[in-house]
Each structure stands twice: as C-alpha cells, then as structure tokens.
Structure 1
C-alpha cells in the first residue's frame, strides 16, 4: 500500500540502455511509495528497448513521468530531471540499482526536522557499506566532526548522488547542477557544492539503497586516464566547503589527491584498454611526483602476492621510472 501524507518527493532515474535492469529499479522505488511521488525516468538517447520500456512503465502508473532526450551523459540526464522536478525533496536512483523496502515509511521523521539533506544506509553487491555517521540530527556540516573524512573518502556516502534525499529548496536556491564537463567525480563535485549551501543533516537508521557495483563497465573495471585531472578540477570546491564549515583543508586535500593517484595507478596497471605510451607515461610521472603516493605504492608492492610480476612495478616506483611502468603495462596488456 502507498505511504500517505509524506511531503512530495521527486525521484530522478537517468536511463541509458537499461532495458535489463530498469523494471527492477522502478519496482523497488514504487514499493510502498506515497501517492504523491513523482518518478522521473530520463531516457538519455538509449539505443536498446529502454525508451519503449519507460513509456510502458508510465502507462502502468500515473506517478511515472518520462523524458526522452538526445544522449548527453548521466550528468545531462540528471540535470534534465532537475529541470522538471515538482517535489519538495529530490532523490537520485541509478537505473541498474534499486531502493530496498522501508524508506518511504521512515522519511517522515526526517522531513519533520526540515534538514537540507537526509542520509540513509547503502548496501552493495561487493559487500556491506555501513554508514560512518550515527543516526540523528546534525545542525550543520561542522557537527559531522570525525565522520566527515570517512563520509567523503572511505565509505563514499558523500561521493555519490544516491543514498540521500536533497532539499529541492536548497537545490533551487543554489542553482545546483551536475557539471557536464566532467565524466568522473561529477557526483563528488555536486555533493561538495551542495554541502556549502545546506545547513542541517538528518541521518536515518537503516539501509534503503542497493547498489549493483560489480557490473561490467563500472569505473573499477575499465581503463581511463582522467582521474587526476578530475580531482584537480574538484579540489577548489572541496577546499571551499571545508573552510565554510571550519575544517582544516590540507589533510582532506592531501588524502583526496593520494586516493586519486592510487586509483589511477590501479586502473593503469590492472585494466586492459587502448591508451598510448606517452599518455601512460605522463600519468605515471604525475603519480610518482607525489611523495605520499610513491610511499603507499612501495608498501603495496612489497606485499604483492605475485612478486615476479610485480618486480618491474617495484623498480619503476622505487627508481621513479614512469617510462618503465608505461612500457610494462603496454606489454602486459598485449601478451598477458
């Protein structure tokens, strides 16, 4: 049965070639949802059966609205949804994920406090993802204290658009948009800017979002070379948010850079894909130029379970030889 008398919520689901998963996502969202829910399915120029499925689902439930648009990427799709929302609150769900039962029954408690942001628990196919923030009301982000670092980095709770409900009023007042120039970290940037503009936060107990994070094509499974550039692009807004709420920026910025270096190194050494030697070399050189990253990589390689395969990496990192690392990854990509 739908949940009555809940402040109107708009759910935005960006959809691109999601015919295999979209029905599951929509069913999870609608399970127990209130009658005044607005579910916006944004078809981002899909080339499979997604457009027809969106229309079919809308015929079956008047709460579903469909927007068909030319392909522009996930940020473009989310922005198109933001242009259409009519609810007091905004929730993002990816088309290959789903909500789990019970969220609609507990949101009223949070909404009654009129926070700028509501957080709730996430579970992942790759394993549990406990929220590092204790349930309750926080008058502003400065009250997050020691939980801010794991919220930003270890858990990813403030690095993704899901697992939270945004005040539509704050979004509108701040003119919030996803940066369509970014292909990675656009979620981090959106949340960081939002936290500069929001005041109170309410953290719900319980897990209400399930992420299928082991799907093919995820960030951890494909080669790309833009992680360091994206981190630099987002760093000024992270610094501004930290200063706004009285946190010392340097430790957070340092950790952000370190994690970007380690993640980019992991993609370069662990993923197959076409990337020219010179681009690989430049990325390895940028990583090795960070003393913290080199130290972390030396320790990581010291404990590698395959010491012979790791030997060229150990030499390249220890002696600061980005060309060796670039050449070895190309050879591995071709022959191993």
Structure 2
C-alpha cells in the first residue's frame, strides 16, 4: 500500500495555454494511485473543455466544474472531492519538477501533517528551500528556530499553498475562506499549522513557480494588502502563542511588510486606484512609525537617487496627498 497516495488539486481559470504542461509535470513519475483534480472555476474560455478532454484521456484525472468563485473556492471544491491521504495544490501555470515522488518514497511516514520542500521562481531563477534547516522532522514551529521568520515572510514557503503536501486527515473540515480575495491561502496555512504537530522538511526543489505573468501579486495593482494582513494577524498570533513563541517580532514583521508591499504596488504598478483611495492607503502606511522608518531606510539606499527624491519628500514630510497625486500622474509612464 502506498503511504503517499496524493490528491493533486489544480484550480483552473483561463488556463488553456498552460494546463497541459502543468498536468504532464504533475503525473510524470507519479504513483499509479495518484489522483489529479482539475477544478474549472467557471472559466469563460476553453479551459473547462480542456479539463474534460484531459480527464477522458487518463483515469487518474477527474474534471470538476463550478461557478466562478476564485482560487480559494476552487481549491475547496477539490478538497471536498479528494480521496488521497495527502493533498498537493498546484497552480495551473506552475509545474512540479522531477524527483518529488522518489524523495517521498525514501521518507519514513510518522505523524507529520505537512511535507515542505523547495521551489524555483521563474522570474529570478532562484531556488528557495527550507535550508539552512537540515532535512528532517521538526516538532512544532519552535523547532524551526531562527528560520521561522524567513519561512513565513521572506521566502513565504510556509505561507503559500505550495510547495508542500498536507495530510488530508489533518485538514479535516478546514477550508479556504471564500470571502477573502487575497491572503485566503495564508489564513488556511496558519489555521492548518494550528492543527498539526510536526513538519517534515525536504531540501530538494520540486515546484516551479511561473511568476512572470502580469497578474501575479508583485505585478498587479491592488489596494487591499493592509486589510488582508489585519485579517490574518489574529490567527498568526494565536499560532505563535500555541507554540510558545513571543508573537511581537513576527506581528511587527507581518505589519511592516504589508505596508512596504502596498507602498511598492502604489508606486510601481499601473492600475485604476483613484486619488482618494490612494491617499487613504498612503496615510495608513505613513501613520505606522515602523513602516515609515523602513521606507526611509529603503529610499536612502535607492540607487536611483534623483528618481527617489519625490518619494523621499513624501515619506519624510508625511504627505499622503502628495504621494497619491504623484503616483497617479506617473501612471502614464509605467
């Protein structure tokens, strides 16, 4: 009996150009009892028909169709249908890299609720792994030591729905919060980690994140990062306290990073956020003294010193209206 019987869940929306490659990567070398759930999230193009076509050609594949509800809702549909002992989430424009199934075969199966491994980012070619942690079992977050902050905030390996396997029995009735448009995956992971006692870290790189598209978070303008962080903060605090950790430094990092990321989107991405909303967002960022200090330091080290002058003035003088007007006017040049 295969102890690593896995349900791979792929949310599919406007994915006709990438889905075949994702499916091929997921099933190459996979055990015969692997199941692949393609969840068509009400896609208006030929994605749904492609899901049906792929399912008709391989008994390991099932096509599921639902009204459009977002990636979290599609993952929930997959979880409701999953039969495997483990669950792996794969985005329709990403790929599994060779070696994962062989690595799992070598592992002893004990009580781990999560198997964490590395990913490769297409945008930079960078391999991101749990290293310098040694490969092995870690009982609780405290066992991850000084690497925990990096796994949560820098690499995001613990925050994203990938690259990892979840034990399905530990997931139980936990589902992605469909009311959230962002950070629903972060909240899911935090709540899952509250339910598991151990994590097994693999140092191999078995997931490729194709993050080059304009729709990725770092390349699309949105104004809800601060609110999303506020929603996940209580769950993160509860998780840290549960593991005997002081939540203060982690919550500080979470809050400041949300401010920096929102600032980066407002100043570097083209989009339709109007002047009033921009001003309100900049005001919230500048009202946070820790975020303001981090921005001041970042702008001081900016190699494009002349181009950074308007931002330095706006941050130093705490002029959200100036920053809002300047970034809106700069839209035409992005």
TM-score, length of structure 1 as denominator length: 0.95
What is the aligned counterpart of 1:101 among 98, 101, 110? 98
Aligned to 1:161, the other structure's residue is in SS state coil
Aligned to 1:153, the other structure's residue is in SS state helix
Aligned position for 2:312: 314
Aligned position for 2:144: 144
Aligned to 1:110, the other structure's residue is in SS state coil
Aligned position for 2:54: 57
Aligned-residue RMSD, C-alpha: 1.4
Q: Distance in 1 between matches of 2:111 and 2:5?
A: 13
How many aligned residue pairs are there?
A: 331
Q: How far does residue 205 in structure 1 lie from its aligned partner after superposition?
A: 2.9
**Structure 1: stretches of 5+ with no match in the other structure:** none
Aligned to 1:209, the other structure's residue is in SS state strand
**Structure 2: stretches of 5+ with no match in the other structure:** none
What is the aligned counterpart of 1:185 among 183, 189, 206? 183
Q: State how 1:62-211 maps to structure 2 within 5 Å.
A: 62-110=59-107, 112-125=109-122, 126-128=124-126, 129-132=128-131, 133-172=133-172, 175-211=173-209
Q: State how 1:209-224 maps to structure 2 within 5 Å.
A: 209-224=207-222
Q: Distance in 2 between matches of 1:279 and 1:91?
A: 38
Say yes or no: does 1:249 pair with 2:247. yes
Q: Distance in 2 between matches of 1:292 and 1:111?
A: 44
Q: Distance in 1 between matches of 2:305 and 2:312?
A: 9
Aligned position for 1:265: 263
Q: State how 1:13-28 maps to structure 2 within 5 Å.
A: 13-28=10-25
TM-score, length of structure 2 as denominator length: 0.96
> Quick check: 2:93–2:210 contact (8 Å CA) kept in 1?
yes
Q: How far does residue 335 in structure 1 lie from its aligned partner after superposition?
A: 5.7
Aligned position for 1:37: 34
Question: Residues 107-155 of structure 1: CA distance to partner in whole angstroms, max 9, x if unpaired?
Answer: 1343622311111111111231232332101122221111211110111
Aligned to 1:90, the other structure's residue is in SS state strand
Q: Distance in 2 between matches of 1:307 and 1:91?
A: 45
Aligned position for 1:235: 233
